[in-house]
Amino acid sequence: MLSKPVIRISYISIALGLALMIISVAIVIGFKKTISDKIIGFAAHLQIVPFTNNASLEEQPLTIKPEFVEKLAKNPEVKHVQFVAKKAGVLKTGEQIQGVVVKGVGTDFDRKFLNGCIVDGHFPDVSADKKTNEVLISASLSAKLKVTTGDELRVWFVSGDRSQARGRKFKISGIFKTSLEEFDSRYLIADIRHLQKLNNWQENQVGSIEVFIREPDRLDEVAEQLYREIPYKLNLITVKEEYPQIFNWLDLLDMNVAVVLVLLILVAGITMVSTLLIIILERTSMVGILKALGATNASIRKVFLLKAAVIISKGMLWGNVAGLGFYFVQNNFHLIKLSPADYYMDFVPVELSLTNFLLLNLGTFVICLLMLLVPSWYISRIEPARALRYE
């Protein structure tokens, strides 16, 4: 029978289509989540800074008021608050000179993200007792400057109101690697008290307040709420505003995956339409007999649609096996590698929630079945007398 090989092709088409949809969604979600987590881990969701027209890296001091910080920390939307400062400098070794940005952190700094990125050594011992000369340097800067853990560095700073450079000697305590060029190419992590002294700031003055929120999906909404609550002399910047080029690029991925999903569903649906038409044509005489016995067009259509639903379900079963198999293998063994210089990570990340998995399956089944309603109407055009004449 002609329908048997066609049905097998339908199984394969639906299985491949659903498997590729699961893989595409898992990769895009994993890609966006991995990059977003890296940026947020390094730069926080929100930054509270002084209102200034200064576009340089020379920060204006922000005086910490305990009542404001306490109110901010008690906000139910806020997960963590930390104080940092940044200052541009020139890192000099025996053979190399490199422009860098030193990010000063204190005991309140959330080390979880950077601790996971350290490839050698340890995080600087930023204790409350005394100022430390230890710094954390990126792997790319380490390779470029030919330095490693335990080596000493000298960084020169020039303030806006001073013509004479001021140097500070640091010791590398560890090397980190985020694979994000925006951070790895220029940042050093040091004790914030060095920058406070270089800027002639008081102990209660910092460059900015970094805020982590509990629900990242509500970033814009929470940012608007906090902006109304902070003093008029302060400004609030979201991580999307600070790194718009990266987040705009990530948003484009949603459009790409939407196009892929539409194309794959159309291919699977068209294959099923062809399959159902062939099945109906092969069983034209059976349709004629059923109609002669009194069966209605609607009841006969249900029989063929039920057969089509079984074919779709079997194809989806194998598609789920293939798609989830790829997901678990890649998630656990990272078989497919990437170039960190181009993709900001070492391997293809995958992330798939139960909701997305169920929606893909339900959407595929419903859309394919709805597309089959059109060819099923061909049954109403079959006349019993003509169909039985050629039996």
Distance (Å, whole) CA 62 – CA 76? 24
Report yes or no on 124 lying in a domain: yes
**C-alpha distance from residue 349 to each of 316, 332, 342 (Å):** 24, 10, 14
Residue 330 lies in a domain: yes
127-182 tens-digit pLDDT: 878 899 999 999 999 999 999 999 999 999 976 555 677 889 999 999 999 999 88
CA 206 to chain centroid? 31
Domain carrying residue 7: 3-37+247-389
Same domain? 15 vs 60: no
Residue 303 and residue 331: Cα distance in Å, rounded? Answer: 42
Same domain, 76 and 157: yes
Residues 23 and 122 reside in one and the same domain: no
| 171 and 276 co-located in one domain | no
Indicate whether 156 belongs to any domain. yes
- Does any domain span residue 240? no
* Final residue in a domain of this structure, among 231, 266, 300: 231
Assign residue 212 a region (left: φ > 0; alpha: ψ between -120 and 50; beta: otherwise).
Answer: beta
Look at residue 1 in the predicted model and tell me its pLDDT. 55
Provide the pLDDT for residue 291: 82
The pTM score is 0.87
1 vs 299, residue with greater confidence:
299
DSSP string computed for 166-196: EEEEEEEEEEE----HHHHTTEEEEEHHHHH
First to last CA, the chain: 16
Same domain, 266 and 362: yes
* 218, 322: one domain: no
